[in-house]
Amino acid sequence: MAEHPWTALYPEQVPVTMQISHRSLIDAWKERVARTPQAPALAYFDGMRTVRQVDDETDALAAAFVSLGTGRGDRVGVYLQNVPQYALVLLALWKLGATALVLNQMYRGRELRRLIDDSGATGMVCTDGGLTETGQTLEGSTVRWMVSTSPLDYQTRNDARVFASTERFASASDGDLCELVDRFRGSRPDAVDLTQDDVALLAYTSGTTGPPKGAMNTHGNLLAVTATYAAWVDLQPGDVVFATAPLFHITGAVINATIALLHDTLLVLANRFHPEVAIEAFAEHRVTFTIGSITAFNAIYQVPHASREHFASMRALYSGGAPIPPATIERFRERFGVYIHNVYGMTETSSAVIAVPFGTEAPVHEASGTLSIGVPLPNLATRVVDPHGEPVPYGEQGELELGGPQVVPGYWNKPEATASTMPGGRLRTGDGAIMDEQGWVYLVDRLKDQINTSGYKVWPREVEDALYEHPAVHESAVVGHPDDYRGETVVGYVSLKSGASATEAELIAFTRERLAAYKCPRVVHIVADLPKTQTGKIRRNVLRESPDTVLDTPTA
């Protein structure tokens, strides 16, 4: 049998291995500037920026960051929605050899502070609206400067569906981003001799145990992913990319934003995702490629007036981050005439590494009914292994293990976590998989307790810890239950201390004060006791698979 059978499934234009010639993302960007300076690079409602403008403005912004004391290797928080400023900040930081710490806009208080403390970020770019709260959260932290920006900038349409208000707020102590760009216009930072090993993005994942871990996505990682994936979807000059995924998630940052910036394509942004606004942008800008979670496409499906016209220019549509029910793809194609290709990636692989070949339809695994996530992209070392790390035969189940230039070199300041998750540079994904003889990969089991709600990952422990802080809670366990819209929904199980009382609504509200909304349980069951192993460990799998056994027991 061929060693890499999947290469037979590669689209015509995709080589089996690809040379990554650029030394850094900035090298690749500079080539684009030289090639097509007048081409449009960024669109945001009625606002447009050419490649030349973006280059000039990111030079100015980089100079402003230098004036604030930022240089190579420094981490700077980027706490924004899908706005043009996101792309500008990424390029400006990379020009300095600094690292963008990408921060989920839904994070609040302690969640945000933990990432700042772990990363030792020294600067922060955030939205003007939430400035007071963010400032309070960062008090006494390593952050020395804060720059704010308004999502209303770079456009004039002020679409009420995605802008909470048209009010402009006072800017941060170190200035407003657009004002800084104006003030430093014409300045340029000293060129930095970057290598593929410089860290471009620090993106956090949590984990079953311990504090969150920052995956160090290097310039080399991003170059490898964007080059292989651009070949995969046959991205061509003139393509138009809509950022459906949030740019603070690795998918959005890498294969919406970075890929579009480095290839001769237009990146269309529309602030936070709104299904009606998205399809209008598809039609207005003649979008040809996008990638987002299946929940985003489900939301589009629910827009009554969404039609084939909105998708008329769409050439390639991909969805990643969460399982896709085969029936969802069918009904989407029936209504809009577009096939949704599945794609798999992780924060630790700088996003897309396994995907359905463009123009091919994914097979469904007969025994499990699971839709294939695709086949490995060029340069990815892919194996399915048993618990001892030995490869299992095709057709048998094991853990998906990945290596190659797409896999990050490790977690920020966490050599032990790096050694246990990526022994010898090979990433143990925690995803139970089967590869068939042709090389199609199916995710058939979850070896980790992670909950996947609309593509957002929730680690039960963090939610359980929030519940434990409630004075009435004796024990808590959190699991994902199937949900038609979100894929999975977060459900909590709680037993109360003797004599204590609390309501389900009260416990949910309690978590909402501590966690981003998507992590909070939608339902909390108060039960007499939680199922445990003989050694007293709570058995989440019982709650996941047969919750009735617990719910039938009357509470004391």
Q: How far apart are CA 263 and CA 235, in angstroms?
A: 8
410 binds ligand AMP (CB under 6 A): no
Judged by beta carbon, residue 444 or residue 526, the one nearer ligand AMP is: 444
Nearest to 155 by CA among 163, 147, 145: 163
CA–CA separation, 136 vs 138, rounded Å?
5
Nearest distance from residue 370's CB to ligand AMP, in Å? 9
Q: Is the dihedral of CA 81, 82, 85, 88 positive or negative?
A: positive
Q: Minimum distance from CB of 251 to ligand AMP (Å)? A: 7
Structure tokens at 504: 């389900």
Please give the residue whose beta carbon sits closest to ligand AMP in the complex: 347
CB 427 within 8 A of CB 407: yes
Residues 495-514 that bind ligand AMP (CB under 6 A): none
In contact, 59 and 192? CB cutoff 8 Å: no
* Cβ-proximal residues to 12 (8 Å cutoff; 6+ apart), any chain: none
Other C-beta atoms closer than 10 Å to the C-beta of 243 total 27
Specify the residue, 187 or 452, whose C-beta has the smaller distance to ligand AMP: 452
Residues 411-470 that bind ligand AMP (CB under 6 A): 429, 431, 443, 452, 457
Q: In the complex with ligand AMP, which residue's Cβ is closer, 134 or 347?
A: 347
By CB under 6 A, the count of residues binding ligand AMP is: 18
In 321-440, the DSSP E strands lie at 340-346, 351-355, 375-376, 381-385, 397-403, 427-435
Residue 373 Cβ, how far from ligand AMP at the closest point, in Å?
5
CB 543 to ligand AMP: min, Å: 19
Q: How far is CA 89 from the centre of its chain?
A: 17
Q: Of the ranges 1-9, 40-48, 177-185, 337-345, which one interacts with ligand AMP (CB under 6 A)? A: 337-345
Rg of the chain over all Cα atoms, to the nearest angstrom: 23
Residues 346-385 that bind ligand AMP (CB under 6 A): 346-347, 373
Residues 17-76, interacting with ligand AMP (CB under 6 A):
none
Least separation in angstroms between CB 345 and ligand AMP: 6
Among 16-24, 338-346, 410-418, 459-467, which window interacts with ligand AMP (CB under 6 A)? 338-346
Shortest distance in whole angstroms from residue 291 CB to ligand AMP: 11
> Using the rule CB under 6 A, is 250 a contact of ligand AMP?
yes
**Which helix (H) or strand (E) element contains residue 102?**
strand 99-102
Nearest to 456 by CA among 270, 254, 321: 321
Establish if 322 lies at the interface with ligand AMP (CB under 6 A).
Answer: yes
Taking the least distance from each CB to ligand AMP, the nearer of 150 and 319 is 319
Q: Please, what is the minimum distance in Å from the beta carbon of residue 323 to ligand AMP?
A: 4
Smaller CB distance to ligand AMP: residue 250 or 279? 250
Site for ligand AMP in 165-194 (CB under 6 A): none
* Shortest distance (Å) from residue 355 CB to ligand AMP: 8
In the complex with ligand AMP, the residue whose CB is nearer, 443 or 466, is: 443
SS (H, E, C) 419-449: HHHCHHHCEEEEEEEEECCCCCEEEEEECCC
C-alpha distances (whole Å) from 279 to each of 43, 235, 287 are 15, 20, 9
Residue 524 phi, psi dihedral angles, 5° rounding: -125, 125
- Cβ nearer to ligand AMP, comparing 63 with 225: 225
Smallest gap from Cβ 304 to ligand AMP, in A, equals 28
| Amino acid found at 340 | I
| Residue number, 206 or 476, with CB nearest to ligand AMP | 206
Could you list the residues that contact ligand AMP (CB under 6 A)?
205, 250, 320-323, 342-347, 373, 429, 431, 443, 452, 457
